[in-house]
Amino acid sequence: MPTRAEFGGFPRLGGIVAELGELRRASQKRRYRDGRLPELPSREATIEIIEDLAASLYPRHFGPPELTTDGADGFVLYTLDKSLRALREQVRRELLLLANGSDDGTIDHRPRAHEIVDAFAQALPQIRALLDTDIRAAFEGDPAAKSLDEVVFSYPGLSAIIRHRLAHRLYLLGAPMLARLVSEIAHSATGIDIHPGAEIGEGFFIDHGTGVVIGETAIIGKNVRLYQAVTLGAKRFEVDASGALVKGGARHPIIEDDVVIYAGATVLGRITIGRGSVIGGNVWLTHSVPAGSNVTQAKPLSESFTFGAGI
Amino acid sequence: MPTRAEFGGFPRLGGIVAELGELRRASQKRRYRDGRLPELPSREATIEIIEDLAASLYPRHFGPPELTTDGADGFVLYTLDKSLRALREQVRRELLLLANGSDDGTIDHRPRAHEIVDAFAQALPQIRALLDTDIRAAFEGDPAAKSLDEVVFSYPGLSAIIRHRLAHRLYLLGAPMLARLVSEIAHSATGIDIHPGAEIGEGFFIDHGTGVVIGETAIIGKNVRLYQAVTLGAKRFEVDASGALVKGGARHPIIEDDVVIYAGATVLGRITIGRGSVIGGNVWLTHSVPAGSNVTQAKPLSESFTFGAGI
Amino acid sequence: MPTRAEFGGFPRLGGIVAELGELRRASQKRRYRDGRLPELPSREATIEIIEDLAASLYPRHFGPPELTTDGADGFVLYTLDKSLRALREQVRRELLLLANGSDDGTIDHRPRAHEIVDAFAQALPQIRALLDTDIRAAFEGDPAAKSLDEVVFSYPGLSAIIRHRLAHRLYLLGAPMLARLVSEIAHSATGIDIHPGAEIGEGFFIDHGTGVVIGETAIIGKNVRLYQAVTLGAKRFEVDASGALVKGGARHPIIEDDVVIYAGATVLGRITIGRGSVIGGNVWLTHSVPAGSNVTQAKPLSESFTFGAGI
Amino acid sequence: MPTRAEFGGFPRLGGIVAELGELRRASQKRRYRDGRLPELPSREATIEIIEDLAASLYPRHFGPPELTTDGADGFVLYTLDKSLRALREQVRRELLLLANGSDDGTIDHRPRAHEIVDAFAQALPQIRALLDTDIRAAFEGDPAAKSLDEVVFSYPGLSAIIRHRLAHRLYLLGAPMLARLVSEIAHSATGIDIHPGAEIGEGFFIDHGTGVVIGETAIIGKNVRLYQAVTLGAKRFEVDASGALVKGGARHPIIEDDVVIYAGATVLGRITIGRGSVIGGNVWLTHSVPAGSNVTQAKPLSESFTFGAGI
Amino acid sequence: MPTRAEFGGFPRLGGIVAELGELRRASQKRRYRDGRLPELPSREATIEIIEDLAASLYPRHFGPPELTTDGADGFVLYTLDKSLRALREQVRRELLLLANGSDDGTIDHRPRAHEIVDAFAQALPQIRALLDTDIRAAFEGDPAAKSLDEVVFSYPGLSAIIRHRLAHRLYLLGAPMLARLVSEIAHSATGIDIHPGAEIGEGFFIDHGTGVVIGETAIIGKNVRLYQAVTLGAKRFEVDASGALVKGGARHPIIEDDVVIYAGATVLGRITIGRGSVIGGNVWLTHSVPAGSNVTQAKPLSESFTFGAGI
Amino acid sequence: MPTRAEFGGFPRLGGIVAELGELRRASQKRRYRDGRLPELPSREATIEIIEDLAASLYPRHFGPPELTTDGADGFVLYTLDKSLRALREQVRRELLLLANGSDDGTIDHRPRAHEIVDAFAQALPQIRALLDTDIRAAFEGDPAAKSLDEVVFSYPGLSAIIRHRLAHRLYLLGAPMLARLVSEIAHSATGIDIHPGAEIGEGFFIDHGTGVVIGETAIIGKNVRLYQAVTLGAKRFEVDASGALVKGGARHPIIEDDVVIYAGATVLGRITIGRGSVIGGNVWLTHSVPAGSNVTQAKPLSESFTFGAGI
């Protein structure tokens, strides 16, 4: 049996730590030109902020159990105050990081962070009103829904759109990294990946949702419904003379009002899906279609089968 | 440098909170006809209940570390007692919500909730026995599996089916909203979306699993194996005279015993996949196939390529 | 109103617990031939170990907020020491489980566990260096990326590859069950399912990621980029004379350097995708292609549509 | 080295648990005549309620860090609502326990609990106003105090009087067991043991405090100051004919306004310490003294000493 | 305004850490002759063990809320199993520490730790039975007590005696350091300091309790009642020829059955307080008194006072 | 049975909250002349800082379990860095509060806070060295001590002196409110109340400790030993012409080297207890005694007793 000392530790640990430290410092030297380490936005803090904001918008569903009307008002006031101030600090850090090296490190980013978060706060009632239309759309779009309350506390599509509408506002106000972080937190929980830049109209509903991807410059009208694994993406192969990918600019689809897109459909490029169109499952679409289109696969994929010849 | 007061708070917060409160009350007035706010089922409580039930079924894998045989018996007794009583409260809340407005708010839903949970408890040994067949199916269906224990504590397909079998029982017993909440909790963790209404026989195995969707009226026989991104869905376009979607009724596939369905296959509508069939990857199938069928794509999707012309 | 006693508990609970206990003991008798219950690896402990290791590699991103340079060195030293010792215990349990029944239960697996973890520790600087190339690849492959820091703390592809590179090392060193558990933890959080056996070169980037599946014997070169829902899988139908699935041996693709594979593409079998090739979205590929290939779908899936006929 | 099984558990544990269960049931049979187990008040819940109430009274000192004015209003509203409802449940349990056996177990104690807590809530502003006088008394009575804020967040005497004033109100309203529990929570934290029945006027200050005991029927006027280890107790030896202790009735001292009692003094029985008196350290006092008295020890205790004869 | 770097850290921290490390290593070298660091018993673990044991003895009072009869049995079985195994590990560490340097570090202390904890477990029903007499004594000795339940969950004297009876058993079985740790945990919570060596008969009650000290060799009979600040101590001045304190051997009082000792009394040395005696408040007693004694102070301490001469 | 609404909330809560708000604002207006609310030092943060500092000084006793030598170095570096920065923030808040109203609120207190904490950090090795002498004194002064390790992790006297030596340094460096808060945290846990201003030499030991009070200007030499309930206090009655208490200036005792003071002794005023003196239990001492004195009570307190007359 080994002695105590034999399993006490890892004798070469000091060297490993030193190597990791050198890698870290080399990498920091490349990233931060002035040699100072800025505070980074915090994933944990951002998760908590977003949870708090969702609870402020729907306190009876995401807040503490058994809130009364009075308690809800108090909870919202307190929670908003807390989460907005925490958000302000995270926005300040993003501004600091974005300004990396462009100033002498002494600029106080707090006033700008305050303005951004103040404007964000002003937008919250409008965001809640939009989300109410999303809830109703989900309730109406899925007869399996037993009540509006059920939609709020269990539908992943709603979870994703709540976070998207918050993230989109941050994106518009000049905090794109935080907005992205919020999107990725929702992506991890729901499998739905909506870039915070995407513009989405009222009454939006995603059913099932796993594998949905919506790109940065997508524009989605009112009362649009998507199913799982739908991609609203950019076309590939836009490279410049040197072979590097060209991005930026409007490169994702425009989906007009009242469109339904079924599971697995792929819609690519700056094309327009006309109002009221229906895009079938697994469709691959790279050009615009007019209003009222009904697009299905050219032919079924499963013509070839043999009877009675199983494994 | 700003003064303390300058960043102390958000001066317009009171107004924002008031606006949110009005939106909330307007929405509550629409939902609850009698003006009283029912207690809602709690997502947090439900997550804990399901974790506890899973730990009661497999205490050495999901319970506290290093349980002995004696300790496990005590743990199961205590944990079941606790989680069943917590479940009873959640069922009561669902009954209250479902009865919204149909009574004068004075009905005591506890006796019915007690009956439901009592019947649920009686079914637990049978659920565990079924799950044992699922574990064995996973172990046999995936030679990469090193032990039955590994299957239990690391396979997402098993995580999903444990929760489905619990949710399905709640669904059958009259708690469909809680059942759905349980399903969505599993969906978030695994990317596997099984509606709690689906009937699934013994020896069920889903490999990888991300993107799998199984609809409410699907019926799955014994020893069926699915891979990632398989959809067992409803056909679209069933609309009534007014153009509204018609749902309800059997609308999802019947999968007979011993069927294997490979990744990305889409099986839609109330069709039957005959016993022992094999459905290939990416197949799109909307009509029944007899027992022993072997269905593959009509032709490969990748005929068009050019050599040596890459970016 | 019911009396207190009426809802106090579940009178048949004792019987249910007894039934569950019998099922558990029956199952344990089959699993553990010598009648003794080995300690099992712990999912919770493994999650904490992996979080700690990730924080040791990128302390400013995944460690506690506002680490200074000094603090980071201390944090890494302390956290590595703690997590490596915790890992050693988990490895010991895996060895115990793998040795199930093959010895008399008295073998001390600690020396071997120590060796494995010591070798694992030695590899950490190399893993960090590889991950730095992945971060750069993500930053360059996604112009939406605002900074290297943003990639580290918000990209799911990076989260997955950090955990894969750790899991792969455990897999190589003889702890395949723990490696698999780590993979599944990453899978749950990101929707990206990489088997710990897969070999992946530097500069690897997965964008969006939900639904990606990479098989055990896949080999991926340098600077490869994948999008969501890409499968690098095994072909099916490899059955032996008795109809049982044959697995083991190299059965997944080889992807050479500088390949890009777009969303939804399925690449199956031990084929080789030559250096610099581009595989288009939704492509289904089951044979090798030479370097520089540009593979797209045979024809678009969406030829059939009708204008103006929507719902 | 022992085998795994050898240290797996305690073979006689089942018997021990059974014995403990029998003792428990025997004791319950004696306590609860009707054989039903009432829910008990919860120490943990009560601790949380009291922490919340203290934070509602002094949100910037005992609430979350960095509260703004707006945030404080919201916090108080939410926290009061939450803690008062939690308190109502605890009061209901006390009423249930006090009614043990006197009814058939079907009485709904909620209406009475609601009345009690409603009256308690009404009293909170008055309690806060009284506590403000205590804070000022501490600040003025201890020149070491640097600020009123310091008194609030660090003085044990203030911690004790906050909890006493809350407990006393519960005592008056008919929840003496909860009141006692609150007192004991304060006692554990501060070493100051004030029975919730004691009546204490404004401007009360206890310095140091460890070992102070104030009995149930004590009456203390305004601006009284005590030091550590002061006892305001009952005289002993009040026994009835059978030798049993007689309690109940006024048996503790009346301390009039502006009295100071120094450390270690013992004041026993229903005596009156007249206004403005000063009671010296270690004094033992069992009869009343008029206003303006200055009581010291008869003679010093330390006459007998020897020089130069140490150990 | 300072730059980021200016407040980033403490430049001399490395040196401070190194100095602390040297002090630590110097101290370890003196303590552990063989240069190996033994694992130490853990205060945190011991606190949890004792909380668990108390909850196992009185599950409805110290266990989770709303335990049913079934749930309690399960809880006790599970909690005892867990806490006894945790205790075994702590006992092992004490044995390791006590054996410091007397062996070559390879002795396996687990068998002895197992025996000790097994014997400890056997004693638990007897400890519970004793504690039931203490509860009854408190209820009868304090007419303010409203119910036996109130005594259990709020009396500090009961909290102390529960922990003492557990600690005393550990002391007798050969784990004196753990026993002491348990005592000190109770001391911190209650202000009552009972050495784990003290022998205490059934029906023991301490009222108020702050400042009570009971020495290692004290022997206390049945139905004894103490009040706050009572000391049962050793006489001082037992020094040997070299002036060093002589300790060990019986040096604390024997208190016979049915004795009452009032607040602040000091009883010193190996004297006997005869059965049924009453010792008055503040009495200083250093010689034995026969059964039935009634000891009070020689004369009141407060003869000297002046009327009307206050500050 | 009451309806849901009947127990939903407290209808008058809004008014109560408003009243509390007014009281709060009135009180704030008095305290903060410029109408701005400064951030307050945080009790919770301070508790954590002190726990971290204690763990940095004695990492194997107060740090995480099973630290190795390497791990301890990392832990100390990381923990010190973290806790010193957190301390700096608390010191800044104290400076802000102390400057209340004396500036226009724009002064940046960080540089001064940084200096204070930097000096504090420099003193830590010296504090650890002093504490090592205290540990040894406890071990030698209490033969019941089984090992130096036991002293560190279970003796309340050591817990108190660790916190005192840290608090005293903060007091000297200009953070008296934080210092006081630290003292009160120790007081609550141990019943030992040492003012942070007290100067205490090496080798200090307090046994039992409950009720000990040591005043601000006390000076204690080397190798002094105290028992429970000892007071080193100020004499009372130092009032000025207007009757107000005069404080400040040296007013507590000087205790020279090698003095022992037994339980309950009270030593008051700026007197000197000469080197090597022994002060007996319960002694009341208000004048100086020369070196080598042996002071006991004038006569025993318990002359008056009657045999056989007890209850």
What confidence tens digit (pLDDT) does each residue in E113-168 have? 999 999 999 999 999 999 999 999 999 988 778 889 999 989 999 999 999 999 99
Q: Is the pLDDT score of B270 beyond 50?
A: yes
d(CA E156, CA F191): 15
pLDDT at D1: 30
Q: pLDDT tens digits, residue range E183-203?
A: 999 999 999 999 999 999 999
E118–chain B Cβ distance below 8 A for any pair: no
Question: With an 8 Å Cβ cutoff, are C76 and F76 in contact?
Answer: no
Q: Which of B9, B70, B71 sits opposite D71 (nearest CB)?
A: B9
Question: With an 8 Å Cβ cutoff, are C3 and D108 in contact?
Answer: no
Let me know: does B11 contact A114? Beta carbons within 8 Å. Answer: no
pLDDT at C101: 57
Question: With an 8 Å Cβ cutoff, are B4 and F108 in contact?
Answer: no
Q: Which of B67, B68, B81 sits opposite E74 (nearest CB)?
A: B81
| 3-state SS, residue E231 | strand
Q: Which residues in chain C have Cβ-Cβ distances shorter than 8 Å to F3?
A: none
E284–chain D Cβ distance below 8 A for any pair: no
Q: Is the pLDDT score of F277 beyond 50?
A: yes
Q: Is the pLDDT score of C259 beyond 70?
A: yes
Q: Which residues in chain F have Cβ-Cβ distances shorter than 8 Å to D114?
A: 6-7
pLDDT at A243: 60
Nearest-CA distance from E35 to chain A in Å?
A: 9
pLDDT at F107: 84
pLDDT band at C31; cut points 50, 70, 90: confident
pLDDT band at E297; cut points 50, 70, 90: confident
Question: With an 8 Å Cβ cutoff, are A79 and D74 in contact?
Answer: yes
Whose structure tokens read 């007061």?
B5
Structure tokens at C77: 């030293």
Instruction: State the distance between the two ends of chain E, measured CA to CA, in whole angstroms.
Output: 53
Let me know: does F148 contact E31? Beta carbons within 8 Å. Answer: yes
Taking the CA atoms of C43, C44, C48 and C51 in sequence, report the sign of the dihedral they define.
positive
Nearest-CA distance from C49 to chain B in Å?
A: 15
Nearest-CA distance from F209 to chain D in Å?
A: 11
pLDDT at B6: 42
Q: pLDDT tens digits, residue range F187-207?
A: 999 999 999 999 999 999 999
C-F contacts at Cβ under 8 angstroms: 55
Q: Cβ contacts of residue D28 below 8 Å, gap of 6+?
A: D37
Rg, chain B, Cα only? 24
| 3-state SS, residue F49 | helix
Q: Is the pLDDT score of F249 beyond 80?
A: yes
A83: enclosing H helix or E strand = helix A69-98
The ipTM assigned to this model is: 0.91
F9–chain A Cβ distance below 8 A for any pair: yes
Q: Is the pLDDT score of E6 beyond 60?
A: no
Q: Which residues in chain F have Cβ-Cβ distances shorter than 8 Å to C76?
A: 74
Q: Which residues in chain E have Cβ-Cβ distances shorter than 8 Å to F74?
A: none
Q: Is the pLDDT score of D2 beyond 60?
A: no
Interface test with A, best of B6, B24, B273 (most A CBs within 10 A): B24
Name the DSSP letter for residue C292: T
d(CA E201, CA A282): 81
pLDDT band at B311; cut points 50, 70, 90: very low
Q: Where are the alpha helices (DSSP H) in A155-200?
A: 156-173, 176-190
pLDDT band at C307; cut points 50, 70, 90: very low
Q: What percent of chain A has pLDDT over 70?
A: 86
Q: Which residues in chain C have Cβ-Cβ distances shorter than 8 Å to F81?
A: 67-68, 70-71, 74
Residue range F78-82: mean pLDDT, rounded: 94
pLDDT at A6: 42
Name the DSSP letter for residue C134: H
| 69-88 of F, contacting D, C-beta below 8 A | none
Mean pLDDT, all residues of chain D: 88
Q: Which of A176, A266, A290 sits opposite C264 (nearest CB)?
A: A266
pLDDT at D300: 54
Structure tokens at F119: 């000096």
| 3-state SS, residue E284 | strand
Structure tokens at C278: 């581009």
Chains that touch B (3 or more CB pairs under 8 A): A, C, D, E, F
Q: What is the dihedral of CA B56, B57, B58, B64, to 10 degrees?
A: -10
β-strand E294-295 against F305-306: which pairing, if any?
A: antiparallel
Residue range A8-21: mean pLDDT, rounded: 87
Nearest-CA distance from F130 to chain A in Å?
A: 29
Q: Is the pLDDT score of D6 beyond 70?
A: no
Q: Which residues in chain A have Cβ-Cβ distances shorter than 8 Å to B37?
A: 60, 68-69
Nearest-CA distance from D68 to chain B in Å?
A: 6
Q: Is the pLDDT score of C6 beyond 80?
A: no
Question: With an 8 Å Cβ cutoff, are A229 and B245 in contact?
Answer: no
β-strand C294-296 against B304-306: which pairing, if any?
A: antiparallel
β-strand D294-295 against E305-306: which pairing, if any?
A: antiparallel
Q: Which residues in chain E have Cβ-Cβ distances shorter than 8 Å to B89?
A: none
Q: Is the pLDDT score of D303 beyond 70?
A: no
Instruction: State the distance between the two ends of chain F, measured CA to CA, in whole angstroms.
Output: 53
Q: Please choose, from the candidates F214, F222, F225, F229, the residue with its C-alpha nearest in 3D space to the C-alpha of residue F282.
A: F229
Q: pLDDT tens digits, residue range D38-76?
A: 888 999 999 999 999 999 999 999 998 878 877 898 999
d(CA C129, CA C57): 10
F10–chain A Cβ distance below 8 A for any pair: yes
Residue in chain D closest to C96 (alpha carbons) equals: D4
d(CA F290, CA F154): 35
Q: Which residues in chain E have Cβ-Cβ distances shorter than 8 Å to F239?
A: 311
Let me know: does F229 contact F212? Beta carbons within 8 Å. Answer: yes
DSSP characters for chain B?
A: ---TGGGS--TTHHHHHHHHHHHHHHHHHHH-TTS--PPPP-HHHHHHHHHHHHHHHSHHHHSSTT--HHHHHHHHHHHHHHHHHHHHHHHHHHHHHHTTTTS-S----HHHHHHHHHHHHHTHHHHHHHHHHHHHHHHHH-TT---HHHHHHH-HHHHHHHHHHHHHHHHHHT-HHHHHHHHHHHHHHHS-EE-TT-EE-SS-EESS-TT-EE-TT-EE-SS-EE-TT-EEE--S--B-TTSPBP--SS-S-EE-TT-EE-TT-EEESS-EE-TT-EE-TT-EE-S-B-TT-EEE-SS-S--EEETT---
Mean pLDDT, all residues of chain E: 88
pLDDT band at F242; cut points 50, 70, 90: low
Question: With an 8 Å Cβ cutoff, are F105 and B4 in contact?
Answer: yes
Vertex B237 angle, CA B235 and B242, to 5°: 145
C133–chain B Cβ distance below 8 A for any pair: no
Residue A220: C-alpha distances to residues A162, A217, A231, F290 (Å): 16, 10, 13, 92
Q: Which of C181, C210, C233 sits opposite B263 (nearest CB)?
A: C233
E108–chain A Cβ distance below 8 A for any pair: yes
Q: Which of D176, D188, D210 sits opposite E156 (nearest CB)?
A: D188
Question: With an 8 Å Cβ cutoff, are B106 and F5 in contact?
Answer: no
Q: At what angle do helices A176-190 and A43-57 cross, to 10 degrees?
A: 80
Q: Which residues in chain C have Cβ-Cβ distances shorter than 8 Å to E13?
A: 70
Q: Which residues in chain A have Cβ-Cβ distances shorter than 8 Å to E104?
A: 3
Question: With an 8 Å Cβ cutoff, are A38 and E1 in contact?
Answer: no
Question: With an 8 Å Cβ cutoff, are F10 and D121 in contact?
Answer: yes
Rg, chain F, Cα only? 24
Structure tokens at C28: 């344990």
Whose structure tokens read 């505070």?
A39
F150–chain E Cβ distance below 8 A for any pair: yes
Name the DSSP letter for residue E58: S
pLDDT at E108: 87
Residue range E6-31: mean pLDDT, rounded: 85
pLDDT band at B70; cut points 50, 70, 90: confident
Q: What percent of chain E has pLDDT over 70?
A: 86
Q: Which residues in chain B have Cβ-Cβ distances shorter than 8 Å to D69?
A: 8-9
Q: Please choose, from the candidates D287, D215, D217, D219, the residue with its C-alpha nearest in 3D space to the C-alpha of residue D259.
A: D219
The identity of residue F97, as a single letter, is L
d(CA D208, CA D264): 12
| 3-state SS, residue C310 | coil
Q: What percent of chain A has pLDDT over 90?
A: 70
Question: With an 8 Å Cβ cutoff, are B193 and A211 in contact?
Answer: no
Q: Is the pLDDT score of D251 beyond 50?
A: yes
Least confident of A176-190, B133-147, C76-90, F45-59: B133-147
Whose structure tokens read 């079941």?
B80
Set out the domains of chain D in order of their start, with CATH numbers.
Answer: 31-191 (1.10.3130.10), 198-298 (2.160.10.10)
pLDDT at D247: 60
d(CA A78, CA A86): 12
